[in-house]
Chains A and B, each alone.
Chain A
Amino acid sequence: MSSNDASDRELVRRTREGDREAFGVLVTRYLRPALALAWEYAPSLDDAEDLVQEGFHRALRGLDGFDASRPFRPWLFTILRNVARNAVARHARWNAVAIPDEHSSEEPDPLEATYRLELRDRIEAGLDLLPPMQRACFRLCDIEGFEGPEVATMLGVDPATVRTHRHRARAALRKALQGLNGERKA
């Protein structure tokens, strides 16, 4: 069996024995959700990457204390959330809203481009106004495409809680976008 197919438990056991390749597989396996989660706390991708790196290193240090009979994923995300919360407490500027990176795209039509820019601004503004948990649930599920149960594990909450927060976030965003749709039709 290759390392990529190995179970988390097996990879954890090998990592404990000093197998760096096994650790690398664990990193690759959980990198994407870890980065998505970290970015909910960090103002930029660079900061989120640093958080993820620190989270994985802290998990590695604490692996001896990890109960291997329990699932690895929730344990890892708990560590990552703690790392992120500590970082937020350390950096006052992280409380400010991060400006998203500009995506280069082909703009087909100036009017359409203007509309889309405004739409995006409104969405971002609407997202920023949401409570953090609603924003995280909506962004991770509806934008980044993670499944609800996975997001629940990432955030350390019940799947039903994620559904509730998504529902509320959608309602709030729908309200924020209604005005723009009306303006466009007019």
Chain B
Amino acid sequence: MMTTHDERSAFEPRLPDDPGYWSALAERISDSAAPVFAELQSRSAWWGALDRFGPALGIGALAAAVATIVLLSGVGASSTSLSEPPLASATTATDLVENAFQPPSMPDVITLMVIASEESQ
């Protein structure tokens, strides 16, 4: 055995014994957590809203991306549309490939957006 009685009495715990100390400290920590709770609640509210409107926002973002591509490309947007099959105006193999990658016209994009939003509901 390592310690005698005298030595054991020298090993005094550092942690306070007073129950009042512990309850006061617990209260202090819990009370000071109020701003953290508020922060978490606002965060969860934000995420909740995002989650609720997620599909609609996703469709909107997709539509915006498509519209941006269309507007930026600006190539034949008015003369060619998705409604025209590529084969109709193709006379050579090169035309066929070029026509296949023509961007959609604005009316087509809007139509797609409307159909997509109706399907999501």
Q: Chain A: residues with CB nearer than 8 A to chain B?
A: 18, 20, 23-24, 27-28, 31-32, 35-36, 39, 45, 49, 52-53, 56-57, 60-61, 64, 100-101, 103, 115-116, 119-120, 123, 139, 142-145, 170, 173-174, 177, 181
Closest residue to B28 on the A side, CB-wise? A53
Residues of A contacting B16 in the complex (Cβ-Cβ under 8 angstroms): 45
Closest residue to A35 on the B side, CB-wise? B15
Residues of B contacting A174 in the complex (Cβ-Cβ under 8 angstroms): 2
Residues of A contacting B22 in the complex (Cβ-Cβ under 8 angstroms): 28, 31-32
Residues of B contacting A45 in the complex (Cβ-Cβ under 8 angstroms): 14, 16
The reply to whether A36 and B10 form a contact with Cβ atoms under 8 Å apart is: no
Residues of B contacting A143 in the complex (Cβ-Cβ under 8 angstroms): 11-14
The reply to whether A173 and B33 form a contact with Cβ atoms under 8 Å apart is: no
Residues of A contacting B4 in the complex (Cβ-Cβ under 8 angstroms): 181
The reply to whether B11 and A27 form a contact with Cβ atoms under 8 Å apart is: no
The reply to whether A28 and B26 form a contact with Cβ atoms under 8 Å apart is: yes
In the complex, B30 has a CB within 8 A of chain A: yes
Minimum CB–CB distance for A119 against chain B, Å: 5
Residues of A contacting B49 in the complex (Cβ-Cβ under 8 angstroms): none
- Choose one: A18, A101, A120; the contact of B40 (CB below 8 Å): A18
Cα–Cα, bound, A45→B14 (Å): 9
- Choose one: B13, B23, B33; the contact of A57 (CB below 8 Å): B33
Q: Is the interface of A mostly helix, strand, loop or mixed?
A: helix
Q: Which 6 A-B pairs have the closest CB atoms?
A: A24-B30, A119-B10, A28-B26, A120-B10, A143-B11, A53-B29
Contacts A18-B41, A101-B14 aside, 16 further interface pairs with beta carbons under 8 A come to A18-B40, A20-B30, A24-B27, A31-B29, A36-B15, A39-B14, A57-B32, A57-B33, A60-B37, A61-B36, A116-B10, A123-B11, A142-B11, A143-B13, A145-B13, A181-B4
| Chain B interface residue number, banded | 20 to 34
In the complex, B7 has a CB within 8 A of chain A: yes
Residues of A contacting B9 in the complex (Cβ-Cβ under 8 angstroms): 116
The reply to whether A144 and B15 form a contact with Cβ atoms under 8 Å apart is: yes
Q: Check A123/B10 contact, CB under 8 A, given A31-B25, A31-B26, A174-B2.
A: yes
Residues of A contacting B36 in the complex (Cβ-Cβ under 8 angstroms): 57, 60-61
In the complex, B34 has a CB within 8 A of chain A: yes
The reply to whether B6 and A116 form a contact with Cβ atoms under 8 Å apart is: yes
Minimum CB–CB distance for B16 against chain A, Å: 8
Residues of B contacting A20 in the complex (Cβ-Cβ under 8 angstroms): 30, 33-34, 37
The reply to whether B6 and A18 form a contact with Cβ atoms under 8 Å apart is: no
Cα–Cα, bound, A64→B25 (Å): 25
Minimum CB–CB distance for B121 against chain A, Å: 30
The reply to whether B7 and A119 form a contact with Cβ atoms under 8 Å apart is: yes
Residues of B contacting A177 in the complex (Cβ-Cβ under 8 angstroms): 7
